[in-house]
A = this chain, B = another copy of it.
Amino acid sequence: MNGERKAVVLLSGGLDSTTTLAIALSEGFAAYAITFRYGQRHDAEIDAARDIAQRMDVRQHIVVDMDLRQFGGSALTGDIEVLKRTDVSEIGDEIPITYVPARNTIFLSYALAWAEVLGAFDLFLGVNALDYSGYPDCRPEYIAAFQSMANLATKAGVEGHTLAVHTPLIDLTKAKIIRLGIELGVDYGRTISCYDSDSQGVACGHCDACLLRLKGFAENGLQDPASYLG
């Protein structure tokens, strides 16, 4: 255990978080993965996260239940219909309706609590500022502010440690993320990115997440190994 650096990695079961987990492992961290059941339509993403955690070198994986549906206000928690488009160029700059209010803040706060108990000083989060420019809580200035707050919030900060929030994907295009993940041996066939997949995890192919992901594989001259409807 001597000298081992633990990291808490937020793992949704999607492409970005799985790549982020692979990066944390490649940097030598002992990875502790945390997944949230926050009122998604079904458990396909959770199942994907469990599968990924088992196949990658994760020390411990926990699934935290929370019910963001109490607050309402997002397509991802079932209040509003997910937008379907035919091309990635239709995605605008507006804050998407799939934005879940304060979601990353809640998720990072849980990760912070677990990190404190584990004695970990590193959190890894697969946010991306390019593809998700409309989400306030995917911006670098937000991450920096969370990190400052986290260092004041916890015993670790008081006792002279520095908590770091790592966002290795924040400036990467989806195509670059995929290339990096493939270099690190990520099996993207097991990841689910779709906002509206069926209960078996088969992706719709037309939500923003599917379109961005398909474009990323295409730009690498690759076929997405995930399952798509039709």
Q: Is the interface of A mostly helix, strand, loop or mixed?
A: helix
**Mask: chain A, 144-164; 1 = CB below 8 Å from B; 0 = not:** 011011101111011000000
Interface: A68 (CB within 8 A) = yes
Does B142 lie within 8 Å of A149, measured CB to CB?
A: yes
Q: How far is the CB of A6 from chain B (nearest CB, A)?
A: 14
A148 to B112: give the CA distance in the assembly, Å: 18
A72 to B117: give the CA distance in the assembly, Å: 7
Residues of B within 8 A of A109 (CB): 102, 105-106, 109
With contacts A102-B154, A136-B157, A154-B101 taken as known, whether A113 is within 8 angstroms of B71 at the C-beta atoms is yes
Q: How far is the CB of A108 from chain B (nearest CB, A)?
A: 8
Does A104 lie within 8 Å of B66, measured CB to CB?
A: no
Does A73 lie within 8 Å of B117, measured CB to CB?
A: yes
Interface: A222 (CB within 8 A) = no
A116 to B153: give the CA distance in the assembly, Å: 22
Q: Which of B70, B116, B117 lies in contact with A64, CB distance below 8 A?
A: B70
Interface: A90 (CB within 8 A) = no
Interface: A27 (CB within 8 A) = no
Residues of B within 8 A of A104 (CB): 153
Residues of B within 8 A of A141 (CB): 152
Residues of B within 8 A of A112 (CB): 101-102, 105
A residues apposed to B, CB below 8 Å: 62, 64-68, 70-73, 95, 99-106, 109-110, 112-114, 116-117, 136-137, 139, 141-142, 145-146, 148-150, 152-155, 157-158
Interface CB pairs A-B, < 8 A, 26: A64-B67, A65-B65, A65-B66, A71-B113, A71-B114, A71-B117, A73-B116, A101-B113, A101-B114, A101-B155, A102-B109, A102-B113, A102-B153, A104-B153, A105-B109, A105-B112, A105-B150, A106-B106, A106-B109, A106-B110, A136-B153, A139-B152, A141-B152, A142-B152, A145-B149, A146-B153
